[in-house]
């Protein structure tokens, strides 16, 4: 009944992800792009918290990401410090080491923001060498190829790519 039913033990707690995200952010010298499920508002909050701890601005990219964060904020489930959010078109106005982009596209969806960035086809965000892209999600079974193709394109650009294989930056919502 669970995606992870074949894994022994217990799935890690969402609480463990935040400190690891902050560690990854602290090591990143340039811009950081984090992709996760837009519906995982607790994860988005953890990304915002890690960005705030390192004095970085946050841009939300992708229709569902903006929509979910706006709903979460209006319901009091996501707190973003005043003045922290910037518009995607403002990303280029800030030094690379001061920006975190939270994006849709963790599953390699063809029209998602991250996939467009990886193919240099996003109208506002142009990735470049030295950017760090953090996949704070694991591929849904069947999406592995699309995710791997996106990661391959990011490597071709010169991005540093961090996945849950590299650091504990994702906790599954599916029990082991």
Residues 6+ apart with CB under 8 A from 176: 2, 4, 5, 7, 8, 9, 10, 11
Strands of 32-35's sheet, edge to edge? 85-86, 57-61, 99-103, 32-35, 132-135, 160-162
Cβ pair 107, 145 in contact under 8 A = no
State the maximum Cα–Cα separation within the chain, in Å, rounded to a whole number. Answer: 47
> Is 174 marked active-site?
yes
DSSP string, 54-108: TT-EEEEESHHHHHHHHHHHHTTS----TT-EE-GGGGGGS-GGGEEEEES-TT-
> Is 170 marked active-site?
no
Question: Which one is catalytic: 128, 156, 166, 174?
Answer: 174
Catalytic residues: 1, 174
């Amino acid at each position: 009944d669970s995606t992870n039913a074949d894994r022994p033990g217990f799935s890690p707690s969402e609480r463990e992800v935040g400190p690891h995200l902050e560690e990854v952010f602290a090591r990143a010298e340039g811009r950081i792009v984090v992709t996760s499920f837009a519906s995982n508002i607790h994860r988005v909050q953890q990304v915002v918290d890690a960005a705030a701890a390192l004095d970085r601005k946050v841009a939300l990219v992708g229709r569902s990401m903006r929509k979910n964060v706006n709903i979460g904020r209006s319901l009091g489930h996501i707190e973003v410090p005043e003045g922290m959010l910037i518009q995607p078109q403002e990303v280029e106005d800030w030094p690379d080491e001061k920006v975190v982009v939270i994006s849709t596209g963790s599953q390699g969806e063809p029209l998602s923001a991250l996939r467009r960035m990886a193919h240099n086809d996003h109208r506002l965000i142009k990735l470049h060498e030295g950017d760090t892209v953090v996949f704070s999600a694991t591929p849904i079974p069947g999406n592995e190829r699309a995710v791997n193709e996106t990661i391959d394109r990011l490597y071709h650009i010169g991005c540093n790519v961090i996945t849950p294989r590299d650091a504990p930056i994702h906790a599954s919502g599916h029990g082991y």
